[in-house]
């Protein structure tokens, strides 16, 4: 495993970067951080607590967390095998598959939502049969939120993990095989543990992406409070003045920002395979 070399201030790691880079880099940081600062500044702190503890807000938060977790679970269960196969495959088929996996990343999520409707909607390619044979109607249900989340988040896990697997290479796996380990044992005891940091960061990104999902959810799952109204949708509704005030939208946004920060911190604190 390649361990990252940590470079701190005073380390020579940054030597050689032209000073000209400082200005655009600073602007980039501003572009990324200042909007969040503005959000904090704009917040009405007196009503903040009541806004974020309102039943509607809590329902949206609960739904967001549950559906994002479910979507992440689907991504892990289906995405890890796909990443392993993609990383070890060669030839045109794997190239095509890799491009297809990237598709949800580059598609606008709204397009993804429409595509999901045409696949799983009541008159959709699969949805028709699901309805006719099993009586299952997915659109505008909580399950639809999960599917939309998995659709947009899967590439983050698959591409991240595949990159980690390629970097790790196969040399440890070969040694393990000559030591008598079956392919399954090699996968379980060597391959996956070696890429655990990549798997964790991929999973976290995947969860974060599902948590922030809006477009595909809005079109495929709708905006029903308590059923499909996740945090991003609740924020959009609040901002447009439907029912609540813009102040509530700001409060909910802050809650989502806080949730995202917690997720990132937890992921950073837990790094498997770290030499203690």
Piece of the chain touching other proteins by CB under 8 A; list 85-93, 115-123, 175-183, 212-220: 175-183
Q: Which residue among 189, 241, 246, 261 contacts other proteins (CB under 8 A)?
A: 189
The reply on whether position 114 binds other proteins by CB under 8 A is no
24 or 276: CB nearest other proteins: 276
Helix (H, G, I), strand (E, B) or coil at 9: coil
Site for other proteins in 43-82 (CB under 8 A): none
Q: Which residue among 174, 242, 261, 262 contacts other proteins (CB under 8 A)?
A: 174
Rounded distance, CA 181 to CA 199, Å? Answer: 22
Longest dimension (CA), the chain: 67
Q: Which residue among 3, 6, 19, 123 contacts other proteins (CB under 8 A)?
A: 3
Q: Which residue among 80, 176, 244, 249 contacts other proteins (CB under 8 A)?
A: 176
Q: Which residue among 181, 260, 263, 264 contacts other proteins (CB under 8 A)?
A: 181
Site for other proteins in 190-209 (CB under 8 A): 190, 193-194, 196
Size of interface with other proteins, in residues (CB under 8 A): 25
Q: Which residue among 13, 226, 241, 273 contacts other proteins (CB under 8 A)?
A: 273
The span from the first CA to the last CA of the chain, in angstroms, equals 15
Rounded distance, CA 4 to CA 156, Å? Answer: 21
6 or 19: CB nearest other proteins: 6
Across 40-78, b (16+ Cβ under 10 Å) vs e yields eeebeeeebeebbebebbebbbebbbebbebbbebbbee
Helix intervals (H) in the chain: 22-42, 45-52, 55-88, 92-106, 109-120, 127-129, 142-168, 171-178, 183-186, 192-194, 196-212, 215-220, 231-239, 246-269
Helix (H, G, I), strand (E, B) or coil at 91: coil
Residue 214 DSSP class: -
The reply on whether position 275 binds other proteins by CB under 8 A is yes
Judge residue 160's burial from the number of C-beta atoms within 10 Å of its C-beta, 0-12 exposed, 13-18 middle, 19 or more buried.
buried
Q: Single out the residue of 140, 136, 130, 151 nearest to residue 71, CA to CA.
A: 151
Piece of the chain touching other proteins by CB under 8 A; list 32-40, 108-116, 178-186, 223-231: 178-186
The reply on whether position 268 binds other proteins by CB under 8 A is no
Q: Which residue among 128, 167, 182, 240 contacts other proteins (CB under 8 A)?
A: 182
Which residues are at the interface with other proteins (CB under 8 A)?
A: 1, 3, 171-172, 174-183, 185-186, 189-190, 193-194, 196, 272-273, 275-276
């Amino acid at each position: 495993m390649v361990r990252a070399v940590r470079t701190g201030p005073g380390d020579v790691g940054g030597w050689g970067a032209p000073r000209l880079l400082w200005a655009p880099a600073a602007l980039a940081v501003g572009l990324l951080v200042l909007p969040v600062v503005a959000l904090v500044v704009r917040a009405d702190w007196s009503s903040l607590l009541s806004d974020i503890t309102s039943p509607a807000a809590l329902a949206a938060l609960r739904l967001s967390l549950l559906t994002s977790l479910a979507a992440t679970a689907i991504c892990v269960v289906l995405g890890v095998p796909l990443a392993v196969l993609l990383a070890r495959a060669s030839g045109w088929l794997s190239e095509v598959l890799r491009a297809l996996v990237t598709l949800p990343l580059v598609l606008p999520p709204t397009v993804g939502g429409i595509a999901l409707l045409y696949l799983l909607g009541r008159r959709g390619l699969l949805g028709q049969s699901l309805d006719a044979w099993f009586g299952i109607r997915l659109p505008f249900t909580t399950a639809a939120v999960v599917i939309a989340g998995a659709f947009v988040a899967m590439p983050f896990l698959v591409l991240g993990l595949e990159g980690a697997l390629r970097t790790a290479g196969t040399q440890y796996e070969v040694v393990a095989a000559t030591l008598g380990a079956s392919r399954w044992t090699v996968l379980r005891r060597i391959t996956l543990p070696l890429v655990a940091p990549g798997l964790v960061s991929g999973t976290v990104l995947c969860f974060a992406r599902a948590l922030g999902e809006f477009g595909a959810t809005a079109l495929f799952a709708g905006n029903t409070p308590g059923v499909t109204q996740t945090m991003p949708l609740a924020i959009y509704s609040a901002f447009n003045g439907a029912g609540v005030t813009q102040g509530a939208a700001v409060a909910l946004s802050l809650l989502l920002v806080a949730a995202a920060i917690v997720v990132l911190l937890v992921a950073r604190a837990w790094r498997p395979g770290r030499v203690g």
